[in-house]
Structure 1
Amino acid sequence: MLPPVMAGVDGSAESLAAAEWAAREAARRSRPLRLVNAWNQQPHKGAGLSAAAAQRYLARRALRQGEDRIRRTCPGVKVDAEQVEGPATGALLHAAEQAELLVLGSRGLSGFTGFVVGSVALGVVARATLPVVLVRAGEEASDEHLPADDGCPSTRTGYQDVVLGLDLGDPCDEVIEFAFEAARLRGARLHVVHAWQEPSPLGLGPGEIGLVNGPEQADEWLGFLDAVIKVWRDKYPEVEVVETVAEGRARSVLVRAATGASLLVVGRRTTERAAGPRTGPVTHAAVQHVGCPVAVVPHE
């Protein structure tokens, strides 16, 4: 059986939007969809059988809501559902071990105020070994597409850009390939973005790009970006690519670039630090402030 696209559902508006997005992604990838609800049998000390029974009922109801929504909006997608027991973060990660992609909801407020990401979503993103996509409440199928000629939302038009935030100091193949494949599946343009800042004179080494002036630095970075992406252009000749290097903080550059995108792709290093698993400041800023779905791709 092909690895499924998996979505965590809990009955909330954001999780149902995530389930619907996951169904569309499953259709694009020709994969089945699996809906998962994680629940604790004893979430509070002293909780009795009645509390556990109530949780089981709520879990079943959340899964039914998700299945009903998928069958209504994406009737061609094969969908199944399961309940998993345990603390939500660990249970979702365990359930997703055989999945191709995990999709979770975030309490999106708007494109301006961004995500209010819950502890479960952040915990999963920080520890996952597979790509995780965060979807805000209110995400619609038409949000992925260009507006119609009259300016109205449509699902009959082409897709908005897929945006890849690329760190040229650590250009990881897993992240780049995910973005190219996402663009290919959508027939979308891929917008590759790198942010750079003037280095401190104390941090310069021999031959560093920072030894030249601003405009020349931008040209150097663009040449480096083009060289990194060339092999992927050759591998995905059907994907139109546009490259941008912008001076500024990476988190600010990415938030601006992702405005109106169908998907933002960023990476997360899996190497644990002394403080434990973390998302990293740029990825954390992206999932907090970007309005479109955000794919976080782990890499070593």
Structure 2
Amino acid sequence: MKHHVTVGVDGSPESRAAARWGAREAALREVPLRLVHAVDWLISPAVPVPGRDVADRWADEALTEALEDVRRRHPGLEVSTRCLSGRPVAALAAEAVDAGLLVLGSRGVGGLVGFLVGSVSLSTLVATETPVVLVRVSDAPEEAEPVRDGEIVLGVDIHEAADKVLTFAFEEADRRRCALRVIHGWTMPSIYQYAPFFDPENEREVGRSVSVMLDDMLMPWRHKFPSLSVTHEAFMGAAGDQLVRAAASADLVVVGRRLRRSPLGAHLGSVAHAVLHHAAAPVAVVAHD
């Protein structure tokens, strides 16, 4: 079974933010926290031996700093550290296999621009089927523990079987005892582009149908979490833009990533890509079939 939360740390402000977020999540889940750092060594005579000592010392300092910080904030939390050898993406993906959640840092550059998703974070995200949360550095002082009264925002596609994504979002909202807001963006069927005239009633009819489908999709989870406050909206337009706007007051934004096993490799959909690069809140990406 998957019990612990894993956080990748490297001593940067982004990884410190990820460690703090991961520690709070582990405390909410009542599971251990594991802090990991990957040391990438090329097997080559060109790499001087003293350099390895420096890197090992740096890795130890990064792990120790993160460990002391989260223990100070969550004294009752079970925390362990692990230094991994190998390429960071492969090492983190392998470490995530037996974790319930992987948390990584992502550099924020302001509300209008959003995330700079580094190659390690992005590549690790698509290399694992474990849910991944990307956390940006808060604008608040580092010593302040972020406490927000926002909601969890979930982006769904009614045309996909995304049970894992729905379960993740509902469980997260239940842990935090906060509201869940579900968003779905839709467009008119392509056949209407060739209609000789446009009838606004057609658009309203499609909108009503989509809203009913979204409500039906959520019904099993509403029954499973009867005390949870859940709202939903289906609108005509790009889901990514709406999710980014909703993220301004959210504790967490949850999106899905469809698993595509092909020679071209895994990749993100347009909605997940937009949210990852522009949302101010932490973003959870959940892989699903």
The aligned residue for residue 6 of structure 2 is: 6
Q: State the secondary structure of the residue aligned to 2:281.
A: coil
Q: State the secondary structure of the residue aligned to 1:7.
A: strand
Distance 2:192 2:203 in 1: 17
* Worse-matched range after superposition: 274-283 or 186-195: 274-283
Change (3 A) 1:165 1:143: farther
Paired residue total: 282
Q: Is the 8 A contact 1:111 1:292 kept in 2?
A: no
Code of the aligned partner of 1:165: G
The aligned residue for residue 109 of structure 2 is: 109
Task: Please point out which of 250, 263, 272 is paired with 1:283.
Answer: 272
The aligned residue for residue 224 of structure 2 is: 235
Code of the aligned partner of 1:145: R
Spell out, residue by residue over 1:10-64, the C-alpha distance to the aligned partner (whole angstroms, 9 max, x if none).
Answer: 0000101000000000000000000000011238771111111111111101001
Q: Is the 8 A contact 2:11 2:63 kept in 1?
A: yes
The aligned residue for residue 183 of structure 2 is: 193
* Worse-matched range after superposition: 249-258 or 121-130: 249-258
Code of the aligned partner of 2:103: V
The aligned residue for residue 222 of structure 1 is: 211
* Worse-matched range after superposition: 61-70 or 105-114: 105-114
The aligned residue for residue 256 of structure 1 is: 245
The aligned residue for residue 82 of structure 1 is: 82
* Worse-matched range after superposition: 107-116 or 6-15: 107-116
Task: Please point out which of 149, 162, 180 is paired with 1:172.
Answer: 162
* Worse-matched range after superposition: 165-174 or 182-191: 165-174
Spell out, residue by residue over 1:83-102, the C-alpha distance to the aligned partner (whole angstroms, 9 max, x if none).
Answer: 00000000011112111100
- Please show how residues 1-300 of structure 1 align to structure 2 within 5 Å: 3-42=3-42, 46-138=46-138, 143-146=146-149, 160-201=150-191, 213-300=202-289
Change (3 A) 1:71 1:272: same
Q: Is the 8 A contact 1:9 1:62 kept in 2?
A: yes
Runs of 4+ with deviation above 6 angstroms: none
Q: 1:264 deviation in Å?
A: 0.5
The TM-score, its normalising length taken from structure 1, stands at 0.89
Distance 1:272 1:211 in 2: 41
Distance 1:45 1:129 in 2: 36
Change (3 A) 1:278 1:130: same
Q: Is the 8 A contact 2:260 2:267 kept in 1?
A: no
Unaligned runs of 5+ in 2: none
Change (3 A) 1:290 1:44: farther
* Worse-matched range after superposition: 272-281 or 14-23: 272-281
Code of the aligned partner of 2:158: L
Unaligned runs of 5+ in 1: 147-159, 205-209
Q: Is the 8 A contact 2:2 2:98 kept in 1?
A: no
Spell out, residue by residue over 1:60-89, the C-alpha distance to the aligned partner (whole angstroms, 9 max, x if none).
Answer: 010011011101222221111010000000
Q: Is the 8 A contact 1:17 1:139 kept in 2?
A: no
* Worse-matched range after superposition: 29-38 or 192-201: 192-201
The TM-score, its normalising length taken from structure 2, stands at 0.92
Q: 1:143 deviation in Å?
A: 4.5
Q: State the secondary structure of the residue aligned to 1:258.
A: helix
The root-mean-square deviation of aligned C-alpha atoms, in Å, is: 2.1
Distance 1:223 1:241 in 2: 15
Code of the aligned partner of 1:3: H
Identity of aligned residues (%): 40
Distance 1:215 1:139 in 2: 41
Distance 2:87 2:27 in 1: 30
Q: 1:275 deviation in Å?
A: 2.0
